[in-house]
Amino acid sequence: MTLANVLAYCLALGIAAAIPGPGVVALVARALGSGFRHGLAFAAGLVLGDLTYLTAACFGLAMIAAAMGEVFVVIRYGAALYLAYLAWQLWRAGGRAAAIRSLASESALASVSAGYLVTLSNPKTIFFYLALLPTLLDLHAIDLGSFAALAVATILVLFAVMIAYAALAARARSALDRSRLLARLNRSAAAIMAGTAVWTVLRRA
């Protein structure tokens, strides 16, 4: 695998990541509702999901992934339920300071898990790694060194894109310190999160 191959992969991945999909929408809603820390944790979950599919593509596990259709249906519904739960929490918090602090102090692991589930159930991610990636790289020629380079590139590209989204959303949140505005912001974020949950359930796999 050459440097040109890696750069082509980074370009394709960066474009795919920057196009708003369910992962980006949920990330923005999470950062709007709970702040940058949770947005960053959610982004980490999204990246872990991408690394899972990258591993599957590079080491010939695509057939296993395709055979696990029912498992991915369960994952999709699990992701939708968790997003709905987060939406409910944000809606209940409204502009109450104590409730907002409670949301911000939740375990970051919950946000990582949510991001991971959203990525695993995202058809755009599945298509990129299991259908598009083989057209960019010769997967049969990838060894452990090449895989490590791709994994590092994946982490750097995705975090560069996702942190930008999370930071912008968190900055918008911090600029609105009045309780009434925060209530509207939280409920808007809840509506976005709930819409993403509904889309996750209703879309075709």
Q: What is the pLDDT of residues 113-132, one digit of tens each?
A: 888 888 887 777 877 887 77
Quote the tokens at residue 168: 């912008």
CA separation for the pair 29, 89 (Å, rounded): 12
Q: Is the pLDDT of residue 27 over 90?
A: no
pLDDT tens-digit series, residues 104-118? 445 678 888 888 888
What value does the mean pLDDT take over residues 191-205?
Answer: 66
Residues 6+ apart with CB under 8 A from 17: 24, 157, 158, 161, 162
Residue 179: pLDDT band (50, 70, 90) is: low
Sign of CA dihedral 103, 32, 97, 101: positive
Determine contact, residues 72/125, Cβ cutoff 8 Å: no
Mean pLDDT of the chain: 75
Taking residue 151's Cβ as centre, other Cβ atoms within 10 Å add up to 16
Q: What percent of the chain has pLDDT over 90?
A: 13
Q: Which of 160, 185, 163, 183 is nearest to 172 (CA)?
A: 185
Q: Is the pLDDT of residue 100 over 50?
A: no
Residue 156: pLDDT band (50, 70, 90) is: very high
* pTM recorded for the entire structure: 0.70
